[in-house]
Amino acid sequence: MTDLYSTPHRRFPAPSLRVAASPGIDEAEATVVLALRPDATPAVCQEAIAAARRENAGLRAIVFDTDTTTAPSTSPLAECTRLGAALAEAGLEYEVQRVESDLAEQVLDLATQHAALLIVMAAKRRSPVVKLLLGSSAQQVILEAECPVLLVK
């Protein structure tokens, strides 16, 4: 007998999170993960590119709008495409993903899946009270990451 209530049925396949990628990213031996807000300073992207070059690694980026654990973190595809063009111009192997529902989980999964050497994140200054009430994806990544995390403002 088929259980129609507890098993979700997908009528359409889930869309890929990958928005842009270089042809050789899946063969990259090392990885740097970048979590980037569109309103972050250029220093965030520059630090990630410098780390990828220093380690001779591919750069896997996730573009997000917010870093609270309570708000949905959506990002416009245009920002993802723009970052992909900048990484291609930098001459790196790269992948740019749109964010799913949980930024911290996605960053940690990406870092674990590709044995990341470093995670670079855009950080936003918040008061301790706001962090307590809303939470922070950056805090969760720092606590659970198995590799170094560099927060750039």
99-143: per-residue pLDDT in tens? 887 888 999 999 999 999 999 998 766 555 555 444 567 777 877
Q: Is residue 13 part of a domain?
A: no
The number of distinct structural domains making up the chain is: 1
Q: Is residue 34 part of a domain?
A: yes
CA distance to 46, 90, 110, 131, 152, per residue, from 17 (Å)? 23, 22, 12, 28, 24
C-alpha torsion 136→139→143→149, nearest 10: 130
**CATH code, 23:** 3.40.50.620
Q: What percentage of the chain exceeds 90 in pLDDT?
A: 46
C-alpha torsion 136→75→84→105, nearest 10: 40
Q: Is residue 132 part of a domain?
A: yes
Domain that includes residue 45, residue range: 18-152
The pTM of this model reads: 0.81
Structure confidence at residue 16 (pLDDT): 81
Q: Is residue 7 part of a domain?
A: no
